[in-house]
Amino acid sequence: MIAITGATGQLGRLVLAQLLKTVPADQLVAVVRDSSKAANFAERGVSVRVAAYGDRAALAKAFEGVERVLLISSNELGQRVAQHVSAIEAAKDAGVKQLAYTSVLRADTSTLSVAKEHLETEQALIASGLPYVLLRNGWYTENYLRSLPGVLANGALVGCAGSGRIASAACQDYAEAAAVVLTAPLESGRIYELAGDDAFSLADLAAEISRQTGKQIPYQDLSEPAYVELLLKVGMPQVYAELIADSDRGAAAGDLFDDSRTLSTLIDRPTTPIAETIKMALAR
Ligand SMILES: NC(=O)c1ccc[n+]([C@@H]2O[C@H](COP(=O)([O-])OP(=O)(O)OC[C@H]3O[C@@H](n4cnc5c(N)ncnc54)[C@H](OP(=O)(O)O)[C@@H]3O)[C@@H](O)[C@H]2O)c1
């Protein structure tokens, strides 16, 4: 059996949907904190088990009979290492044979502030002795499109990434990669640096949005403090404003760039071009 934590999140849903194409539903476990959000998976025959990150006993119960776990990183910044460690320990308690963890691109050298918790989790996983795979996911293209209505309303894409090149990929691409790893022969100690085939700057992204909408959307580059200030002004909580500005700073430093094509090799197709993800976001 294969268990997916964070199964009701954006990535988790896509991974489960992908696995359901080739794996019998009764071999899949959705580990969730709120079972009402997983009704669609239960209807399809997936076993839905409730366990919050941090609750080692509940997680160990959720992993009973499970051979492989995909530990999708938590979104609760600052609490993630303890939460992930509880899942790793629970997987050991349950006799899991492989744990794959969704980390961040080049977690060991990245200057991104989010990389710290990922690296500490990686180190805990390696120290645990559990057979592991690290799925070091690059940026999701979707990250840039959540604010699309605001971008269109304001007539500009604002950031502080300078001319940094971003090799993002669609969430679906990362989900397919996870599904490939979870259904391949068991392996341990493997690190996949996953990113999109094509890289773009935020000016390129603005140009593509302009092309598809027929509106003039320039990219406006701010300093990092000025960008944080702007995000706070539009009501974003401090922690997220700092995180978003930091990711742009990291993009400028090259943290979001990769040209290894490991992701497209793994999923055996090109990654989703940004134009396609923008088209889907505009159609919503
Ligand atoms: N590479 C990137 O660009 C990028 C971007 C964003 C996030 N990330 C990372 O990748 C992860 C997955 O991305 P995503 O887009 O799927 O994020 P997401 O939609 O926010 O999903 C996070 C999942 O974690 C679950 N979760 C959070 N706290 C939990 C807790 N205490 N106990 C149990 N479950 C908990 C959530 O449960 P509910 O469904 O109940 O809310 C959700 O299912 C994120 O959590 C974050 O670490 C990466």
pLDDT score at 284: 87
Question: Residue 157 belongs to a domain with what CATH number?
Answer: 3.90.25.10
Q: What is the pLDDT along the chain (284 residues), one digit of tens a residue?
A: 999 999 999 999 999 999 999 999 999 999 999 999 999 999 999 999 999 999 999 999 999 999 999 999 999 999 999 999 999 999 999 999 999 999 999 999 999 999 999 999 999 999 999 999 999 999 999 999 999 999 999 999 999 999 999 999 999 999 999 999 999 999 999 999 999 999 999 999 999 999 999 999 999 999 999 999 999 999 999 999 999 999 999 999 999 999 999 999 999 999 999 999 999 999 98
List the structure tokens of 134.
């690290």
Which contiguous run of DSSP H or E holds residue 81? helix 80-93
pLDDT score at 93: 95
Residue 21 lies in a domain: yes
Residues 116 and 159 in one domain: no
Burial class (CB in 10 A: 0-12, 13-18, 19+), 109: exposed
278: CA distance to ligand 1 center in Å?
A: 22
Beta bridge partners of 24: none
- Which residues approach ligand 1 with their CB closer than 6 A? 6, 8-12, 33-34, 37, 52-54, 72-76, 83, 102, 137, 139-140, 143
Contact 178, 15 (CB under 8 A): yes
Residues 129 and 224 in one domain: no
Tell the residue nearest (CA) to atom 11 of ligand 1. 73
- Identify which of 50, 63, 75 to mutate to test ligand 1's pocket (most ligand atoms within 8 A of the CB): 75
Question: Residue 15 belongs to a domain with what CATH number?
Answer: 3.40.50.720
Nearest one of 70, 74, 36, 20 to 52, comparing CA atoms: 74
Residues 83 and 157 in one domain: no
What tens digit of pLDDT does each residue of 68-106 get? 999 999 999 999 999 999 999 999 999 999 999 999 999
List the structure tokens of 223.
């300093």
pLDDT score at 89: 98
9: CA distance to ligand 1 center in Å?
A: 5
Beta bridge partners of 71: 101
Give CA–CA dist 162/159, Å, rounded: 8
Residues 133 and 106 in one domain: yes
Q: In ligand 1, which atom is closest to the CA atom of 174?
A: 1
What residues make up the domain containing 148?
139-170+195-258+269-284
Specify the 3-state DSSP secondary structure of 73. coil
